[in-house]
Homo-oligomer: A and B are copies of this chain.
Amino acid sequence: MAVSPPAGVSDGALTSAIDAFVAALGSERVLTSEEDLREFRDPFQPHSWDTYTPSVVVLPETVEEVQAVVRAAAKHRVPLWTHSTGKNNGYGGAGTRVQGAVTVSLRRMNKVLEINEDLAYAEVEPGVTWRDLYEEITRRGLRLMGSNTDLGWGSAIGNTLENGFSYGVNGSDQSLACGMEVVTADGEVLRTGMGAMDGNRAWHTYKRSYGPTLDQFFMQSNFGVVTKMGVWLLPAPDIYMPVWVRVWKEEDLVPLVDELRRLRLARALEAGPVIYNTLIYASAFGRREEFYRGDGPIPEATIDEIARKIESGRWLLRAGLFGNETVVDAQFSIIKQAFERIPGAEVWGTKHAFDDIPKLQHPGELVTGGVPNIEANHITGWYSENDGAHISFSPVVPADGRELFELHKVLRRTLEQEAGLDYMVGSTSVNARSLIHVGIIAFDGSDETVARSAYDTAKRMVGKAHEQGYGEFRAHLDAMDEVAAQYDFNKHAYLRFVERIKDAVDPVGILSPGKQGIWPRHLRPRGNGRPS
């Protein structure tokens, strides 16, 4: 094996587990060579300090094969790490929290099992990407559109399980998902919601269970392996209107967020708004050297120049309206009036018939319009075309302009002064009342010193956000424990409760140990309470 087994697991145990995986899946779907494992590591961590790389990758194709893998892992006490498909860039990629764990890649479970046009939902497997779902809808000629994330290579299930958001009508909070099938640590299969009844007709139409609803219990957790999920879709609207708002001063973020909150609460701006700062928008279309060649963070005056050159302003908001033309027109008029209260603000939008959406040129307008692409990945190349890297840092903030702006300033100052890096951020309006301030800490991954500084600064920013009263919605593998430690109400009562559940539903501790700081008993680093 190219990678050693995890601490506490003997070579013999891992070999026995591999034998069992091969017996269940065949040898071609059990990967152990260095070459095969490469794409399952954290892609942005310098190789010399690999700490999140699996020793084995298994590729089940059916639920029964997932069950067999889980049972073999339990028998030989080998930790697994589930990865649906996609990249998870900025959060550790497909890497495993425990070095040497066995990655269960679900990329070959890639069937769209059902699409119900009348009720506007699909049932998908974890290997189904946004792109796959879009193509299947198109192939069948259905009048439906999906709510997509920035990168079409991602898994609809994987993104949902990480509390990811998407930009369409079903993108807020957890509205996308409805009803799951899950393999638990004992190798059994259960279904959530109405699916707990064999043959129930409402599984993917009703969000709750008789009894506690477990869909969100299986999000950001290590309590099971999700093998099917209902995904809500939107019937083709008459009109899609991508909407843009541009403001020119850094402090314009304050009224921009306040107007956005009021519009969202009034349901005039329905679907997934995101606010880019100048540099993240610049990175989506060009590389840093095209704009600035100095060391250290790009100076304020140069950012203003870039803002004019790429016509982004200092903050650029993108959103979408979908529906009947009269309603869309009325909503746009309300939106325009609201944002134009900000001096210098510009608001524009163009109307498109559903069938014309794929002809749009702007990748962001395509994404919000339900047509997946991967253009946004360009941001990774900001500091280096071939060795570009980034870490995401993503606190949750109430939709209050002053609060967001003050936090932004603290985080920007920290990154610029302590790591000497540019601050690139996209704030996503996950609902009317809160935003996730997704900072992209981009760096040149070929420079180990810079990489170390980026990783360390990202961790320090966790504490800086906490001091202001904010926590991250998600974390890089490298900071999962540090972020969990910030959730400290009543001596980490939440984490202690969740770990009690972990011990009950996965007593051997094989499912994704360490995910979101949740460890099985034998690996729990510091007893029940977590020091900060």
Contact = CB atoms under 8 A, between A and B. Distances in A.
Contacts of A399: 119, 205
Contact of A216 (B217, B333, B397, B468): B217
A473 B208 contact: yes
Given A265-B120, A470-B201, A501 B504 contact: yes
Contacts of A496: 188
Contacts of A6: none
A194 interface: yes
Nearest to A432: B120
A501 B497 contact: no
A487 B291 CA distance: 61
Nearest to A237: B266
A39 to B, nearest CB: 27
A289 interface: no
A466 interface: yes
Contacts of A266: 235, 237, 323-324
Interface in A249-287: 261-262, 265-268, 270
A489 B190 contact: yes
Interface in A101-125: 118-121
Contacts of A221: 211-212
Contacts of A270: 267
Contacts of A322: 267
A523 interface: no
A207 to B, nearest CB: 4
A475 interface: yes
A205 B398 contact: yes
A518 B208 CA distance: 16
Interface in A202-256: 202, 204-221, 223, 232, 234-235, 237
Contacts of A468: 201
A213 B216 contact: yes
Interface in A417-442: 430-434
B432 A200 contact: no
A169 B205 contact: no
Contacts of A163: 208, 213
A327 interface: yes
A497 B190 CA distance: 8
A69 interface: no
A528 to B, nearest CB: 11
A500 interface: yes
A110 B425 CA distance: 42
A152 interface: no
A345 interface: no
Contact of A208 (B173, B324, B517): B173
Contact of A212 (B201, B216, B268, B330): B216
A97 interface: no
A474 interface: yes
A234 B400 CA distance: 16
A210 B474 contact: yes
A507 to B, nearest CB: 10
A56 interface: no
A476 to B, nearest CB: 13
Contacts of A219: 208, 212-213
Contact of A398 (B202, B434, B497): B202
A308 B518 CA distance: 62
A136 to B, nearest CB: 19
A498 B211 contact: yes
Contact of A268 (B119, B210, B327, B469): B327
Contacts of A220: 208-213
A505 B497 contact: yes
Identify the interface centre among A327, A432, A468, A483: most chain B CB within 10 Å of its CB.
A327
- Which A-B residue pairs are the 7 nearest by beta carbons? A504-B504, A196-B494, A205-B433, A212-B221, A190-B493, A213-B216, A196-B487
6 contacts: A173-B175, A197-B487, A198-B489, A201-B470, A202-B396, A210-B471
